Amino acid sequence: MQQQFRLIGALITQATSLTVLWYVMSMQGKTWKDIGWKLEFADVPRALGLLEVAYVATYLFLVPLQYCYRAYAGHFFVPKPLNSMFGFGLSSLSIAFICLNPFFEELIVRAYTMSEVMNFGGSRGLAVIVSVVAQMSYHLYQGPANGLALTFFFTVFSIYYVRTRRIIPAILAHLCVDMLGLIRGAF
């Protein structure tokens, strides 16, 4: 029952946040297209390619870092188990949460935040850094090893967005990662 209340709370928070984003953008005279919402059939293969690049980049950077850490500390970073995070099983609420979460994170922290940083004169590099730091700030509970891996994922997604100004492939790729986490946590 506690997990169900957590999911309901998260759904309310995320839906409210997206509503506030819509309100702020409408007051600014902006539309979803202004932050990269351009639906195309090619978004699915783009999302799969983005996911593949993110996994490869994470592996290429994380493995050497793990060995450097091992040389220093005598052991590898051990990822924190995330069963408590995705251990709520398969239910209509968990699926709704997993489906809404990528929109919440990618539209607010990636598309809107990065667009605003660049619109206010910030560089593309600064936009990537701000987005990655903001996103990491609320993923710290996952521990250092998972946090490091997520940093590479977020960086790849942010670089993709800053180069293409398209957010739907990032949303779909994020959805795949979250769905995989839900499935792993449910079994």
Asked whether residue 159 is assigned to any structural domain, the reply reads yes
User: What pLDDT digit, counting tens, does each position of 132-187 carry?
Assistant: 999 999 888 888 888 888 999 999 999 999 999 999 999 999 999 999 988 877 66
Asked whether residue 136 is assigned to any structural domain, the reply reads yes
Which residues lie closer than 8 Å to 121 by C-beta, 6 or more apart?
none
Which of the four pLDDT bands, split at 50, 70 and 90, describes residue 80? low
Q: How many structural domains compose the chain?
A: 1
pTM: 0.90
63 token code pair: 């493995």
Asked whether residue 26 is assigned to any structural domain, the reply reads no
Asked whether residue 4 is assigned to any structural domain, the reply reads no
Residue 82 pLDDT exceeds 80: no
Asked whether residue 104 is assigned to any structural domain, the reply reads yes
pLDDT at 133: 96
* 77: nearest Cα among 146, 156, 137: 146
Asked whether residue 134 is assigned to any structural domain, the reply reads yes
127 token code pair: 């936009």
User: What pLDDT digit, counting tens, does each position of 88-100 carry?
Assistant: 678 889 899 999 9
The phi, psi pair for 47, rounded to 5°, reads: -65, -45
Asked whether residue 8 is assigned to any structural domain, the reply reads no
Dihedral sign computed on CA atoms, order 114, 119, 122, 123: positive
Average pLDDT value for the chain: 91
| Residues 136, 9: Cα–Cα separation, whole Å | 21
Asked whether residue 107 is assigned to any structural domain, the reply reads yes
What's the number of CA atoms in the CB half-sphere (13 Å) around residue 100?
19
Boundaries of domain holding 161? 43-76+87-186
C-alpha distances (whole Å) from 180 to each of 31, 54, 88 are 31, 15, 14
Q: Is 36 left (phi over 0), alpha (psi -120 to 50) or beta?
A: left
User: What pLDDT digit, counting tens, does each position of 11-57 carry?
Assistant: 999 999 999 999 999 999 999 999 999 999 999 999 999 999 999 99
